Structure 1
């Protein structure tokens, strides 16, 4: 911590000296006013207007409903103004000399060629593109997204998969960091999955995948970052969206939401309410062959119901022209329940059957508070931001696992057995951070500080049914308390020339963690400091070819769930258990990207991870009982080659194809190195039909991949959707057909293990969804989403 403080005292001294000098130069400033019109002289709203000096952006704003814009506090000098927006060609003025306040003549923007026909459909951005080192997956234009959740959408993105427990994986690794509007969720595993399943696709603008993040991002996430960007707009006025949707697979589901805002020059007040009822069935089967000869087959029908309520509200205030203050509250309640039943059949050493029932009620509550501030220091792009967050998660899980064990003739071998469990869990997260962007001469300098504290209290108690009733089972119960504190600082600098850019960054993080298994009398303390350098180089070799290289060092701290040594039973013969001795992963990631004609993308990524964390399986201390846990493997090497190629079959039929090739290898304890080559194919068809109907047809195939002791089987899906707008685009109707041929599955088999374990899980993924959205007023502004990083590891 002292190292971080000294580092920033030196930097702040330099910063304050230069800020004072710059402010002394900005006492004489002026105002620029202007407007944007089309060739017919009509105003064009919602265009992005940039004020530039050389190649640097000094200020940026958006045209109002009347097409007007304004730049305040502009220093005297020479500038260029650009206007850009979807459906219009980018317009750039000649150099403008600014001496005093002035009103510019109207700027004229021309529509793209696809806009020239009177009834033409707006030119759509590509479904997948590479921009600033990010692979961007466009969601808001997709008819297929109708009625889907954020979790469903992620599984359609290239390289994103999930295991049998809904743990998200990127490029074969669960060491992925999930952000929402650049802020992490502090959730992982099933809790993250449930959060994403409650987030409707109608809220999402796009998904960004970053393989080699820069120093300004938290260092967590060896596989990279997934950033979910929510819809937003800066247009003035009021807006209200009313959305209702219904769908059916095995069971009926529905979703309703309303979102609105009022925005003026001085403030933006926004809020939304949502409710979703989910009812799904997953069919889970498995086969376990133990060294002693016992063969255990499982069949389980897992019925899950969820009543998911979301609520969010906030205000953003413009204070004094160069300062912004915001407050945001977010919350959700998930009334979640599970009722799973099915037989476990034992053969080999004996012939018997265990009839199981697993019932769980788990209401989940979340409240998050954010206070944010931004100070614009001058018109040269210097600003400071600050965020303070407090987040609370609470769940009170209650349920039971009951079973009856019978022999081959159907007679009871043992009396009815039942384990009741009670699992109150309290999580508190506190975080403060400040970031600065400080252009200095020809350098773009960024710096920041962050401190976070996480406390988790999980008291898992089992009660066993005995002849006298239910009695505590202390050998199965555990009270686990985890505390983690991280102090971080970063500094980065970038310079751009005509065809080349260089960005260098360094992040330092000091981590203290205390995992205390009170019942098990096991306590693990860790205290360490890491440096995370990053480098990005880019050069445009010609007008049609660009080459980018990025290098980044990352860390993946074990999730809190993986550290908790309590046992989570699946049935009488299987349970999962955390490992408090897990060490953090550390990785070097190298990415080389070539872009041809701005649409053909070829990316090579090399990932070398030390102390690789993955699932292990073994027979536990009780014979024939399968124990799933996590362990550190010595290292993992992974190579990924991604090709993105759009093309047109007809003028109204555009295809975006993505091919991902990968090779993963690592040594397995007690065996030699194992390896797997894999392919991931994604084909997206966008078709403009008559009467203004947009159609989308998407196919996805993923070949077998490796993860820890498991080799996952291939799977695929085909989705289709249609979209049509009515009443001058005030009503939007979408219908989507998900997994039409019902090919989605999560299945795997152990490799190089003493225990042969197979599982095959079939989710309720074949569904039809209809969604209607009515827009009232202007364009909706949902406010800036504020989330923090520690949420991603709960």
Structure 2
């Protein structure tokens, strides 16, 4: 029945698209025929000036007829009448007003030559003292924006810290990100997918300092131009990019102290002249951390010996990372820009863990047999990653809304090398000491090409269309050996294996958008064809899949009055398994816990519906519903080899029905005190059968974020952020309530060229996670603590020129599959 309904909806949707397409092909006799006068505004260096005020005057008496603003490329369009003579003037703060020569009106569109503006010595901004700053959080109808740049709380923090405090974002015990309670996010950094998920994604974001971020956008229902990946939405992270002319840069230095120290330093350089912009950055991070994990497990299945185990892990780690990026943008002509960039991240994380395990087995007749042993895990993980991008942007005419083409070519190689020494010493029974050595290598190569085209059609309809092809190769090799009695070395054939995975995704989309005075409508369709092949050496297992899926998207926004606005959005989205979730090779945490992928895992799909109401252009409420099929769910179960070892593995569950209500209320208490409040109420109902357990459960839950921002004048400001997450149910798992409070203060120095910040995160140490997972044969209680309460002092210094040029517009980049690399 559900497949019939899906086909019916798709058929009706395609019918609507055909109808819209027919409308756009009606002869132009019905289109508007008002002549226009177009042109561009540039500075003395030839760079476009955005958002300059352009005014159309009657030449006879200089009376203003029409006023418009330039777009981000310095282009403008002014409607004229078929007769008369006109002048055009342009004004912008910091520049002298410029006038065009008289232009005689005609019945046909006309294009002026570039209007060049000269800097005004009288209009210098050197004496202007601007005390206001952008709010930390902003809420729009289709997204939430976190303005990280300049935030007091970002000092010395990691990108994961900032993201974890963002409205609606939560992080579970296994480092999986969720938006409004739902997992399955597409994470972008400057339009490129982060090539990891789960723990690896969390480690990557821990290595990326928050000082490098400009903003983060959270989109729960993105349009068709975004890849279909990410059923719960998109997290778009934007890095800082200096837009100042000449040679300039930013240096930063921070040191934080919790139980252990955390040090970050970095340098960003930029050189920009008439047709060339060269940029580069380097960041070094040195962070020591601890992780305390306590487990209590009960085994009571019919096919195993009943009993329980207690386990206490004490882990210390030392992350050192070097991240860098270099690039060049060159204007081949006034309308064509070519860019190239290369980036890398090299990290090494040695860690050492002590584990104490106590096991009680219930025997026949109620007797007890006890075991006790200790283990140490000595592990080093190295991740050398390298990525390159070549991009081209061409505008087909010197006019506003001219057709535009962007092309991105990407190649990336990501590696994870893991060396393991797991030593187990048995106290009861008195068995020989065992040492498990592991040498694991994971290499992923990704190549992709993406092109996007946009233009304005008749009837004020904007068309966006594009295509992308991606090829991925993942090669994973693991060799495990056992050493017993100190001398006998044998290859462990149960753990040694090789896994290879190839994937090709071909995608195409189009989107039509039409805006009137009160209504904006966007209609899109994305098609993605997927071909996958996975192979295991052991057992010669092979999985091959080929499928084509359609992903429609519709959004309508209607202004009802000056006080009220409504928006409705519908979409279908997809979550392909990450490469790590498919990889069956084992990653050991300790003597009784390991993680393994599932090559038989299938993609999950979801239908999403959102209705948003905006009151007075700032108070926003959103009601959402999502239905997810073949839900990808993490499951903890006794391992197939028996004993008291457990395995973490992803599997397809069944169906998830998810309801959300989001309320956002920004409040200006006084001119120097602003408040941002965000409440997310959600209810998820999980249906299915997994690990021998029938599941039909759900529980209402909520998250609440509040941020208080204070401006004291004389360069002083402060922020206090609070987060509370209620008790919630996630399939088999129940997570207890938790939260945190973070506060910081900052002072601008030396005419705002420098900033000194001090903050303390998780002041009351309420971030630790407690959760319980329950199955018909197994139950696990989990308690997780880490070094989250940290006091940080940070210093940032900006040097070079202060004149800002127009920002370069970029589209979303091309690497959808990068997000799914790795996973362990």
TM range (shorter): 0.7 to 0.9
More deviation in 385-394 or 139-148?
Answer: 139-148
Q: Deviations over 1:633-663 (max 9, x none)?
A: 1110111111110113333211111111000
**How far does residue 173 in structure 1 lie from its aligned partner after superposition?**
3.2
Contact map agreement 2:655 2:688 (CA 8 A) in 1? no
Q: Hey, what does 2:320 align to over in structure 1?
A: 307
Q: Hey, what does 2:771 align to over in structure 1?
A: 748
**How far does residue 632 in structure 1 lie from its aligned partner after superposition?**
1.0
- 1:49 and 2:66 equivalent? no
TM-score by length of 2: 0.84
- 1:326 and 2:339 equivalent? yes
- State the superposition RMSD in angstroms: 3.5
Q: Hey, what does 2:538 align to over in structure 1?
A: 519
**One of 602, 618, 622 as aligned partner of 1:603:** 622
- What pairs with 1:388-403 in structure 2 (closer than 5 Å)? 388-403=409-424
- What pairs with 1:552-563 in structure 2 (closer than 5 Å)? 552-563=571-582
**One of 470, 473, 484 as aligned partner of 1:452:** 470
Q: Hey, what does 2:249 align to over in structure 1?
A: 240
Name the CA distance, whole Å, in 2 between partners of 1:30 and 1:615.
56
Shift in CA distance, 82/712, structure 1 to aligned 2, threshold 3 Å: farther
Name the CA distance, whole Å, in 2 between partners of 1:119 and 1:640.
43
Q: Which runs of 5+ in 2 are unaligned?
A: 1-19, 28-34, 57-64, 95-102, 363-368
Name the CA distance, whole Å, in 2 between partners of 1:499 and 1:789.
34
Shift in CA distance, 674/729, structure 1 to aligned 2, threshold 3 Å: same
Shift in CA distance, 466/598, structure 1 to aligned 2, threshold 3 Å: same
More deviation in 667-676 or 206-215?
Answer: 667-676
Q: Hey, what does 2:273 align to over in structure 1?
A: 264
Q: Deviations over 1:655-707 (max 9, x none)?
A: 11111100011124132411011110101000122532100001100112232
Q: Deviations over 1:49-106 (max 9, x none)?
A: 37799999996248xxxxxxx6599999999999899x9xxxxxxxx98775485999
- 1:727 and 2:758 equivalent? no
Name the CA distance, whole Å, in 2 between partners of 1:657 and 1:102.
46
Contact map agreement 2:407 2:451 (CA 8 A) in 1? yes
SS at match of 1:140: coil
Q: Hey, what does 1:419 align to over in structure 2?
A: 436
Q: Hey, what does 1:371 align to over in structure 2?
A: 390
Q: Hey, what does 1:381 align to over in structure 2?
A: 402
Contact map agreement 1:294 1:347 (CA 8 A) in 2? yes
- What pairs with 1:84-99 in structure 2 (closer than 5 Å)? none
**How far does residue 505 in structure 1 lie from its aligned partner after superposition?**
0.3
Name the CA distance, whole Å, in 2 between partners of 1:99 and 1:395.
55
Name the CA distance, whole Å, in 1 between partners of 2:596 and 2:173.
16
Q: Hey, what does 2:510 align to over in structure 1?
A: 491
Shift in CA distance, 83/602, structure 1 to aligned 2, threshold 3 Å: farther
**One of 234, 240, 259 as aligned partner of 1:225:** 234
**One of 131, 153, 170 as aligned partner of 1:121:** 131
Q: Deviations over 1:588-620 (max 9, x none)?
A: 011111111111111111110001110123223
Contact map agreement 2:408 2:814 (CA 8 A) in 1? no
Name the CA distance, whole Å, in 1 between partners of 2:277 and 2:613.
41
Contact map agreement 2:37 2:111 (CA 8 A) in 1? no
Q: Hey, what does 2:727 align to over in structure 1?
A: 704
Contact map agreement 2:68 2:76 (CA 8 A) in 1? no
SS at match of 2:350: strand
Shift in CA distance, 652/361, structure 1 to aligned 2, threshold 3 Å: same
- What pairs with 1:582-731 in structure 2 (closer than 5 Å)? 582-621=601-640, 622-669=642-689, 670-731=693-754
**One of 754, 759, 762 as aligned partner of 2:782:** 759
TM-score by length of 1: 0.87
Contact map agreement 2:479 2:496 (CA 8 A) in 1? yes
Q: Hey, what does 1:343 align to over in structure 2?
A: 356
Q: Deviations over 1:151-205 (max 9, x none)?
A: 1111001222222232222233331110112321232122211221111111112
Name the CA distance, whole Å, in 2 between partners of 1:326 and 1:51.
30
Q: Hey, what does 1:466 align to over in structure 2?
A: 484
Name the CA distance, whole Å, in 1 between partners of 2:181 and 2:780.
20
Shift in CA distance, 303/105, structure 1 to aligned 2, threshold 3 Å: closer
**How far does residue 575 in structure 1 lie from its aligned partner after superposition?**
2.5
Contact map agreement 2:759 2:792 (CA 8 A) in 1? yes
Shift in CA distance, 30/147, structure 1 to aligned 2, threshold 3 Å: closer
More deviation in 127-136 or 673-682?
Answer: 127-136
Contact map agreement 2:329 2:338 (CA 8 A) in 1? yes
Shift in CA distance, 504/99, structure 1 to aligned 2, threshold 3 Å: closer
Shift in CA distance, 52/616, structure 1 to aligned 2, threshold 3 Å: farther
- 1:360 and 2:379 equivalent? yes
Contact map agreement 2:432 2:484 (CA 8 A) in 1? no
Shift in CA distance, 545/331, structure 1 to aligned 2, threshold 3 Å: same
Higher-Rg structure is 2
Name the CA distance, whole Å, in 2 between partners of 1:624 and 1:686.
51
